[in-house]
């Protein structure tokens, strides 16, 4: 199961009860927190996210609306008696900021905080999923993240397996494409016994970025792409000046990258209503949803 729950969908200035950026990615039993704007710990409580199940936090860049809630969350986790280690993947400069603030408060966390400075490539590699990181184009260093389920390439064909009397101990090897050799030395082709597996689901979070088509190459074919749309199309010059994107630009990236679905957010505080964001983006890329706080988008 891969899904994303929106905790904050607004740009820097909180407004209209919209909060700065934060999302929770659910990948099977794992919860990953992506960005952590001010108030994230309150949003986590409001939407009943199990914070004890968050073991990995990813911070895209060091503009405050993406990380000013991190220290509050970290210290609250400590007050709640957390003992499981917590991994933070973030721009290198954040490590010192965390250390200094813990020191200023005389705070000794009851759990291990493990800091991983961001760089492009694979951040986490597990049996069933991987998380990777790519550069986007913002006023300061900024990274996006891709969460990808891994699946064995082949799916067992129940009837054929019975027919050829394959022992269960060989099933896993079948899933990974191996041919079976009977005790008589007869080889049975894997393709006879299995079908192609549906591929693992994937979610890409493109953080804050100016329009740049090279992002499309980095997120090609993902099932769900989150791309910021700070502004409507008419403000595309302002968007570029501030290293942000518009509705039409996000939709263009989704089209070029041939993603299945697009999720848009990071709305400017200029806008109270969001309908026009949906309309403009869907004009160019129909399978688009607005990122709404408290809503979970299943992939």
The residues annotated as belonging to the active site are 65
Q: How many CA atoms lie within 13 A of 233 on its CB side?
A: 14
Give 72 or 152: the residue with its C-beta nearer to its own copies. Answer: 72
Integer Cα distance of 64 and 121 in angstroms: 24
Position among 29, 81, 104, 275 found at the interface with its own copies (CB under 8 A): 104
279: Cβ contacts below 8 Å, ≥ 6 apart? none
Position among 45, 114, 122, 192 found at the interface with its own copies (CB under 8 A): 45
* 240 lines the binding site for its own copies (CB under 8 A): no
* 94 lines the binding site for its own copies (CB under 8 A): yes
Position among 3, 97, 284, 295 found at the interface with its own copies (CB under 8 A): 97
Give 13 or 122: the residue with its C-beta nearer to its own copies. Answer: 13
96: Cβ contacts below 8 Å, ≥ 6 apart? none
How buried is 40 (Cβ within 10 angstroms: 0-12 exposed, 13-18 middle, 19+ buried)? buried
Q: How far is the CB of 148 from its own copies (least distance, A)?
A: 29
Position among 22, 24, 39, 149 found at the interface with its own copies (CB under 8 A): 39
Q: How far is the CB of 47 from its own copies (least distance, A)?
A: 14
Give 15 or 113: the residue with its C-beta nearer to its own copies. Answer: 15
Sign of the dihedral defined by the CA atoms of residues 200, 126, 99, 138, in that order? negative
* 12 lines the binding site for its own copies (CB under 8 A): yes
Position among 30, 56, 63, 261 found at the interface with its own copies (CB under 8 A): 63
* 51 lines the binding site for its own copies (CB under 8 A): no
Q: How far is the CB of 151 from its own copies (least distance, A)?
A: 39
Interface with its own copies (CB under 8 A)? 12-15, 19-20, 38-39, 41-42, 45, 62-65, 68-69, 71-72, 75-76, 79-80, 91, 93-94, 96-97, 100-101, 104-107, 139-140
């Amino acid at each position: 199961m891969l899904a994303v729950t929106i905790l904050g969908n607004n740009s820097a200035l909180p407004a209209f009860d919209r909060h700065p950026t934060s999302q929770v990615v659910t990948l099977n039993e794992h919860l990953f927190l992506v960005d952590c704007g001010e108030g994230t710990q309150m949003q986590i409580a409001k939407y009943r996210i199990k914070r004890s199940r968050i073991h990995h936090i990813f911070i895209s860049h060091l503009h405050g609306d993406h990380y000013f809630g991190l220290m509050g969350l970290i210290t609250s986790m400590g007050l709640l008696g957390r003992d499981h280690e917590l991994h933070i993947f973030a721009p290198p400069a954040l490590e010192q900021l965390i250390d200094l603030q813990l020191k200023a408060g005389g705070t000794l966390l009851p759990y291990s905080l493990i800091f991983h400075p961001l760089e492009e490539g694979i951040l986490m590699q597990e049996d069933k999923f991987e998380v990777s990181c790519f550069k986007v184009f913002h006023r300061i260093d900024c990274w996006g993240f891709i969460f990808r389920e891994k699946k064995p390439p082949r799916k067992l064909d129940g009837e054929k397996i019975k027919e050829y009397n394959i022992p269960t101990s060989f099933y896993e090897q079948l899933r990974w494409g191996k041919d079976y050799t009977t005790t008589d030395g007869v080889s049975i082709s894997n393709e006879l016994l299995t079908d192609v597996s549906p591929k693992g689901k994937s979610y890409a979070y493109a953080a804050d970025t100016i329009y740049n088509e090279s992002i499309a190459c980095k997120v090609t074919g993902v099932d769900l792409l989150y791309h910021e749309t700070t502004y409507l199309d008419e403000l595309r010059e302002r968007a570029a000046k501030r290293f942000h994107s518009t509705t039409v630009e996000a939709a263009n990236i989704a089209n070029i990258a041939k993603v299945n679905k697009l999720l848009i957010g990071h709305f400017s505080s200029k806008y109270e209503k969001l309908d026009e964001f949906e309309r403009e983006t869907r004009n160019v890329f129909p399978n688009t949803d607005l990122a709404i706080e408290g809503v979970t988008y299943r992939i």
